Structure 1
Amino acid sequence: MKPLVVIKIWKLDRLGRTTKQLIELSHDLKERGVSLQINHPGSRYKHTSG
């Protein structure tokens, strides 16, 4: 079983400068089995691998 890796960020603009960069990074993280969580108030986005 692979260890669980979770990246938590406060705001999306801290992860990438453009929407295209954010999408590409999200896909790359998913392929690597990494979960991405955005903890900004009002945000409902949660990306989990699997």
Structure 2
Amino acid sequence: LSMGCGTWGKNNFSDNMNYRHYLNITRVSRPIPERVPSEEEIFGDFFAKHGAA
């Protein structure tokens, strides 16, 4: 099915209609605690081998 003039005509979508337009998708998310590694954790092995600049 073609739904007409698309977003220029203020329709919801501009492509041909297919099964994906009938799907009702719900995404469930949860917060992930922030973990910011220190420079030592990231570059520690490199600095130990090559020295710090």
TM-score range, shorter chain: under 0.3
Larger radius of gyration: 2
Structure number having the greater strand percentage: 1
Give TM-score, length-normalised by structure 1.
0.21
- The structure showing larger relative contact order (alpha-carbon pairs under 8 Å, at least 6 residues apart) is 1
TM-score, length-scaled by structure 2: 0.20
